[in-house]
Every structure is written in C-alpha cells, then in structure tokens.
C-alpha cells in the first residue's frame, strides 16, 4: 500500500490523495507503477510530501 505524508512520522493511506500515472507489466510477473500526489505542488508554500510503500505479509 502506498502512503503519503508531509513529514516522516505521520502517514496516510488515503488512496484519493494518490494518482496512478502509469503501470507497465513485465513478463516476469512484476509491475512498474508510477504515482503522483493528487494535490498540485506549489513551490511558494514550501510544502514537502513524502511517499512510502507499506508492505505486509498475507
């Protein structure tokens, strides 16, 4: 699950805050997925956003 946060302590799993840009499937069962924030970046606000991939065992 991809998570987003404005610091490296608090993370949100809100999938409406994340947009899939592209997904490329390979022949070995893996996928390369590119994401972006749903919120536009405004350099004047001096905001930071971080993404992390949370992995859990099924």
Give me the residue spans of the domains in the chain.
2-53
User: What pLDDT is recorded for position 25?
Assistant: 94
* C-alpha to C-alpha distance for 26 and 46, rounded to whole angstroms: 37
Q: For the segment 12-56, what is each residue's pLDDT rounded down to a tens digit? A: 898 898 999 999 999 998 999 999 989 888 888 888 889 999 888
Q: Which residues contact 50 (CB under 8 A, 6 or more apart)?
A: 4, 5, 6, 7, 8
Residue-level pLDDT at 47? 83
């Amino acid at each position: 699950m991809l998570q987003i946060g404005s610091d490296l302590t608090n993370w949100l799993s809100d999938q409406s805050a994340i947009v899939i840009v592209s997904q490329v499937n390979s022949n070995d069962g893996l996928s390369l997925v590119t994401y972006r924030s749903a919120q536009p970046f405004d350099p004047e606000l001096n905001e930071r956003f971080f993404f992390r991939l949370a992995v859990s065992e099924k």
